[in-house]
Amino acid sequence: MVNIRKIQRLGSSSLIITIPKDWARRTGLKPGDSVYVIERENELRLIPFVSEQDEGLPVTIKVSGPSILVIQKTLRCVLRLGFKKLNIVFDPPIDDRLLGEVEKLIQENGNYMVLEKTLNQIKLKMLVDPYRVDHGLLMRELMSTTSRNIDYMVGILEGDTRDLDEKLAESHASLRDIVSIRDKVTNVLILRIDSVKGDAKEERRRVLSLNVFFLIWSIIKTINEAMLEAMERYKEIKISDQHVKNLLINLLRGIDNALWESVGALSNESAKRATAARDILFDLEKTVRKLEDYGLEKIPAPLIKFVVMAAHITHQLHQALDMIECLISIEKMDQAT
């Protein structure tokens, strides 16, 4: 919500500003509480400080099963629910080998630290605090891995196959990073939904934000998997027609730019960046039509998939932008009521 506040003077050298009452209520802030103050280029962010005492009682989950597969399936579900403190009770108790497998699974999740462990139970504490983690920063990290893979793909189109094995290894690692970042952002967004229970409008906004993130994440994952498959199967792609090569490179760069602007529009709830993303998508659609008009038979087989995929991606990103614009509109509707 846009809220214009006047800065007032306190003493001879200090300035003060009030914070919105509704925001203070939703976050539970009271006079005398502490907040984090994060300074960026032209903005200050206030983030409520959550102390150990405020984290509440742990949630206890009973896990039982005859095999590690059953335990793994249950644990993966539990670890994605986003509890700040978690006691996992094993009934019946597990052995040392299974305990090692459980610890490995927790480490792979990356959101929890082990406080205490026995064969009967394991106590966990969340490392990712939704008020201290910038999910926008995580999403930019997500895009950085995608941009790097697009650079590699463009390099192959331009005939640069140097260090390709190393690049492929990095691409495989980036796919694992993409899944890890998804889990971290999901936990942050779920906890932020839980923090506004009782405020129907804000709760719906945050649920919508989570849905948009999942849509954009699935697009990013699809693109990265397709590029990795193309790079592995066709380590050298020769294109004799320079016009086709330029259009394909423009297509890849356009997808990259459209995703960056869409991620920025979501993390900042920015109408300006949503409009910029739309403009890029319209140009992408023109590029796809030019490639189709020029003749798909002139496009190397591994890249026909990208042309078809690009048309589907633009449609999905338009849907994501519709939802982002809805997020922004909800704020305006809230002001008008």
Summarize pLDDT for 257-276 with one digit per residue, the tens. Answer: 999 999 989 888 888 999 99
Give the model's pLDDT for residue 293.
83
Give the model's pLDDT for residue 43.
66
256 and 192, same domain (yes or no): yes
197 and 295, same domain (yes or no): yes
The Cα–Cα gap between 128 and 135 comes to 10
Choice between 294 and 3, residue whose per-residue pLDDT is larger: 294
User: What letter would DSSP give residue 62?
Assistant: E
- pTM of the shown model: 0.64
At residue 139 the predicted structure's pLDDT band, cuts being 50, 70 and 90, is: confident
Give the residue-averaged pLDDT of 41-68: 68
Residue position matching structure tokens 């790079």: 231
Q: Is residue 1 part of a domain?
A: no
Residue 54 pLDDT > 70, yes or no?
no
- Most confident among 37-46, 221-230, 309-318 (mean pLDDT): 309-318
The Cα–Cα gap between 313 and 193 comes to 28
68 and 214, same domain (yes or no): no
At residue 254 the predicted structure's pLDDT band, cuts being 50, 70 and 90, is: very high
Identity at 185, one-letter amino acid code: V
Of 37-51, 87-101, 138-152, which gets the smallest average pLDDT? 37-51
* Residue 116 CB burial class (10 angstroms; 0-12, 13-18, ≥19): exposed
Choice between 232 and 38, residue whose per-residue pLDDT is larger: 232
Give the domain CATH number at 218.
Answer: 1.20.58.220
Domain boundary at 84, 106, 126, which? 126
Residue 225 pLDDT > 80, yes or no?
yes
Q: Is residue 201 part of a domain?
A: yes
Give the model's pLDDT for residue 118.
92
Mean model confidence pLDDT for the chain: 79
DSSP H helices, the chain, are 21-27, 68-79, 96-109, 135-157, 164-194, 200-233, 242-268, 271-294, 301-336
Q: Is residue 232 part of a domain?
A: yes
Q: Look up the domain containing 42 and give its range.
A: 8-49
Domain boundary at 126, 160, 190, which? 126
In Å, what is the CA distance from 3 to each residue of 7, 16, 20, 42, 171?
Answer: 13, 16, 8, 17, 43
Residue 337 pLDDT > 50, yes or no?
no
Give the residue-averaged pLDDT of 273-291: 92
Domain boundary at 126, 148, 183, which? 126
Give the residue-averaged pLDDT of 315-320: 93
Q: Is residue 82 part of a domain?
A: yes
In Å, what is the CA distance from 248 to each residue of 123, 147, 157?
Answer: 52, 15, 8
Residue 198 pLDDT > 80, yes or no?
no
At residue 1 the predicted structure's pLDDT band, cuts being 50, 70 and 90, is: very low
198 and 78, same domain (yes or no): no
Taken as a whole, the chain contains a residue count of: 337
165 and 307, same domain (yes or no): yes
Give the domain CATH number at 71.
Answer: 3.30.1370
191 and 99, same domain (yes or no): no
139 and 106, same domain (yes or no): no
249 and 328, same domain (yes or no): yes
Number of domains into which the chain is organized? 3
